Structure 1
Amino acid sequence: MTKKFDVVIGNPPYQEDSETAPNRREPLYPKFMDAAFEVGEKAVLITPARFLSNSGQTKAAWNKKMLADKHLQVAYHAPDSSSLFPGTDIKGGIAVTYRDSAQEIGPIGTFLGGATTGMASVIGKVDARGEESFYKIVSSRALYRYSDLAIAERSEITDVVPKGAGNQVTPSSFIALDEVIFFDAEPSDGRDYVQVVGSSASKRTIRWLRSDYISAPDSRSRFKVLVAKANNSGAFGETLSSPFVAGPGVTHTDTFLTVGPFDSDQEAEACLAYLKTKFARALLSVLKTTQNNARSVWKLIPLQDFTSSSDIDWTKPIPEIDQQLYAKYGLDTEEIAFIEDNVKPMA
């Protein structure tokens, strides 16, 4: 068929309701971007920018495909969506992308936009050392799940765990099953129980659950640092929402992620100190452009030795640990000033 037009302009919907999770809306714009690239040599699209940091609800494989596309570039990025669309808060901002299948103008790679542009040279120095990534010790979602025994014995669980959640220890089930399978005090019925850390009324809450009712990954019996799965807005340099050390026998709902595990409390405390440094959180902020603390957003942070043999003295105050890290990675005065001026302190 002969093409009858040269330019197509449209305003398609960008999300749809999920069949498996009623409160979750699936993004549609990846489908429109793919379709536009198939039918046209050149395409300009205005979309949410979350995919640029491999975050949001778009598929990770699709995000990586876009970031590796040699024909795609970011023509404009607005970190604050309301600057383009007043009254609209789209986490991660808005991206205007341009694709030309006849030219190599990309790839985007690690996107640095807005406040993160000052981190380019820092990332280069960190990458040059070839160290392992911190994200290696960050758990993925749904680390803890209800056991098959729990599902078989307590039908109430499947009544409150959303369809498609895969028996995850969800925040909603933690609240709905209070005093059903979760208890404020450890029952004295002769069974083994573990602590489950969750959230109730927006406060960190600890309940007791039968140990055979929950999965047992390696971290369950060791020390770890728990970090909120979501916090703040994704603004550059923001603080983390009160990460803390948890000991053996402590589990958690999907409200949290596990960092670790570690063999000792001292190692876990050292890791906690690292998370509070401006250095680590500056690198985190490059990819964390929404409230979501997904495992992938920790990728630019280098993994450290948290034992007593470390080249960093983790017993020092956080500002002094930062100075050690700046020296270790050879940051110059301008790079240090950028981090110090733009990242909020944590005690």
Structure 2
Amino acid sequence: MSDFYSSMYNPDVLTCLANLSNDEVFTPPEVANRMLDMLPEELWHDSSATFLDPACKSGVFLREIAKRLIEGLKEEIPDLQERIDHIFHKQLYGIAITELTSLLSRRSVYCSKYPNSKYSITLFEDTSGNIRYKRIPHRWQNGKCLFCGASKSEYERGDELETHAYEWIHTIKPEEIFKMKFDVIISNPPYQLSDGGNGKSAKPIYQLFVEQAKKLRPRYMTMIIPSRWFSGGKGLDDFRKTMLSDRHIRKLVDYENFKDVFPGVDLAGGASYFLWDRDNMGICEVVNFNQNTPTCVNRYLDEYEIFIRQNLAVEIVRKVQENATEKRTLSDRVSSRKPFGLPTNYTPCASGVPCWFIQKIGLKFANLRDVDNSKGYLHKWKLLVPKAPIAGQTDFSKPVGFYYDGNTRIAKPGECCTESWIVAGAFDTEEEVLAYKSYIFTKIVRFLLLQTVVSQDVTKKNFCFIPDLETYQGQYTDKMLCEMWGISEKEWSYIDSRIATIGGDDNGN
């Protein structure tokens, strides 16, 4: 019995599970332990401390906590069986996300999927122990679930299929589930559910698990979630504002490459985990991992509206903002999505207004009646950039390209575009738009853009750190901008390492 929790298996079945690609991403044991390392050491010697995983998948968090408690409570409870019984009955609790993961979690934690059987290392009176699973229905209104926003057409199912209506986020009183308080809530929650939108539209739900945990006011909370919340977006804007201004978040560990945390799983924007401390507020320790190399800086998360994830980039952004003579940014110049009101799937016409469609279609025509010119773009020279310029790239620890001649267009007066493009800038003359294009193509400008990007899509809000110059004329180079904004050689070297050079040295250096 003692060998199970005092030694590590090789190979570890949970490590093997963590390598599987799945919508419900399993946490590797080593990652779970890094998260547990953030908690105070005295917790492992406290027989009254209680722990909850509200989204059990493999049971890895509860298993690793059990190992620490079994060792830490030796002196207080010398008898091994008595110690194990106390830990599993009085300290560890979980809510499984599916019936299958409930069995897997119990097998990992109790050594038996049925903790009332003779194979369990501690006996319970029922088949669940302290790891419960309850089939919960969604609550539909206008085709969506009131709690999680899932699509009724996708998730209204028979009893033979999982509903994915997770108990933790389908109640207004989470404290009633176990009718107790918890010292620590720790989890790797499900990330998203289909919301019934066009294509493979999905709604993030991991933020709901974090928000629900805060309602219980645990002493500590730590969860590992996608890093896309750094810049907000679909369903995440309020969550981002709350998280960035929350002084209870005392540590944030961020991985730019999702595979550095979850091998075999690819998700744009990376992953991060945090420590929330109820009783201690202050500045946050931010740890970045870029190609497994960490940097650590203490800083406030809400220094900017969009969180700058790289510590080394913060000083560069500050310097550019201090030295820029024009305080307007390109977010004021770049268009919103659908700059002419035409969706991506708009059908070309035989004649009409020349219109740029997706790159494989090129320049066709749109009906004049369908073209929205309320922004006044139509009769100007325009630089068109794709709304998803880095489609296919999910590892932002590698150099990022963004814009280059092959994926941008100069649209002449009288030409429009579909939603596949955004208007990066509109000008009266061709000379101005060409000068502006050279500015956009510099590595420094693309680096400033990178600081706001955590997915493959780029919108106008992502240009918020790039100064909008008073006029655009001539050819802009990185050397010119380094002198203009006081960028040092060391800072330029870092910028150069983060932005790909496409088609040779296209920046005049």
Cα 1:6–1:63 shift into 2, 3 Å = closer
In structure 2, distance between residues paired with 1:47 and 1:4? 23
- 2:181 & 2:245 partners in 1: Cα distance? 32
Which residue number corresponds to residue 120 of structure 1?
A: 314
User: How far apart, CA to CA, are the structure 2 residues paired with 1:14 and 1:239?
Assistant: 27
1:228 aligns with 2:386: yes
Is 1:101 the equivalent of 2:101? no
Deviations 1:160-201 (A, max 9, x none): xxxxxxxxx2222x3xx34xxx23xx3xxxxxx2111111xx
Deviation at 1:142, TM superposition (A): 2.1
Change (3 A) 1:6 1:307: closer
Shift of residue 223 of structure 1?
1.5
Distance in structure 1 (CA, Å) of the matches to 2:313 and 2:361: 33
Output the amino acid matched with 1:297. N
Q: Work out the CA distance in 1 between the residues paired with 2:281 and 2:183.
A: 22
Mean Cα deviation higher: 203-212 or 30-39: 203-212
Taking the TM superposition and a 5 Å limit, the aligned residue runs for 1:1-347 are 3=180, 5-41=182-218, 42-52=220-230, 54-105=231-282, 106=284, 107-109=300-302, 110=304, 111-113=307-309, 116-129=310-323, 131-145=327-341, 169-172=342-345, 174=346, 177-178=347-348, 182-183=349-350, 186=351, 193-199=352-358, 203=360, 205-217=362-374, 218-232=376-390, 233=393, 235=396, 237-241=399-403, 242-308=407-473, 314-315=474-475, 321-346=477-502, 347=506
Q: Secondary structure at the match of 1:50?
A: helix
Structure 1 residue 254, shift from structure 2 partner: 0.9
SS of the equivalent of 2:378 reads: helix
Summarize the Cα distance change of 1:8–1:67 in structure 2 as closer, same or farther, 3 Å threshold.
closer
Partners of 1:244 and 1:272 within 8 A in 2 = no
Decide whether the 8 Å contact of 1:37 with 1:99 is kept in 2.
Answer: no
SS of match in other structure, 1:208: strand
Q: State the Cα distance separating 1:343 from its structure 2 match.
A: 2.1
Q: C-alpha offsets along residues 192-231 of structure 1, whole Å, 9 cap, x if unaligned? A: x2111111xx525111122122211311121221010002
Gaps of 5+ in 2: 1-175, 285-299
Identify the structure with bigger relative contact order (alpha carbons < 8 Å, sequence gap 6+). 1
Structure label with greater radius of gyration: 2
Which whole-Å CA distance do the structure 1 matches of 2:207 and 2:262 have between them? 20
Question: SS where residue 43 of structure 1 aligns?
Answer: strand
Answer whether contact 2:187 2:224 (CA < 8 A) is retained: no
Task: Return the TM-score normalized by structure 2.
Answer: 0.54
User: For the Cα contact (< 8 Å) 2:338–2:419, is it kept in 1?
Assistant: yes
Question: Structure 1 stretches of 5 or more lacking a match?
Answer: 146-168, 187-192, 309-313
Superposition TM-score, scaled by structure 1 size: 0.78
Offset of 1:122 from its aligned partner? 1.2
1-structure distance, mates of 2:384, 2:245:
32
Shift of 1:55: 4.6
Give per-residue Cα distances to partners, 1:266-299, cap 9 Å, x unaligned: 1111111011101101111111132111222111
1:336 alignment partner AA: W
Deviation for aligned residue 1:325: 0.5
Query: How many Å apart are 1:240 and its aligned residue?
Result: 2.3
Cα distance, 1:14–1:337 mapped onto 2, change above 3 Å: closer
Label 1:55 to 1:272 Cα distance change in 2 as closer, same or farther (>3 A): farther
Looking at structure 1, the residues matched to 250 and 361 of structure 2 have their Cα atoms a distance apart, in angstroms, of 42
Contact 1:74 1:95 in 2 (8 A): no
Matched pairs, number: 296
Among the aligned pairs, what percent are the same residue? 23
Distance 2:215 2:452 in 1: 28
Residue 401 of structure 2 aligns with an amino acid whose one-letter code is T
Bigger shift: residues 288-297 or 25-34:
288-297
Evaluate the alpha carbon distance shift between residue 4 and residue 74 of structure 1 in structure 2; reply closer, same or farther with a 3 A threshold.
Answer: closer
- Relative to 1, partners in 2 of residues 1:196 and 1:33: Cα closer, same or farther, differing over 3 Å? same
The superposition leaves residues 85-144 of structure 1 with CA deviations (integer Å, 9 ceiling, x where unpaired) of 12111111001022223322344135444xx33322211111213621111111111222
Native 8 Å contact 1:48 1:95 kept in 2: yes
- Equivalents in 2 of 1:30, 1:288: separation in Å? 19
Query: Kindly tell me: are residues 19 and 328 of structure 1, through their superposed partners in 2, closer, same or farther at Cα, counting changes over 3 Å?
Result: same
CA distance in 2 between partners of 1:4 and 1:239 (Å): 49
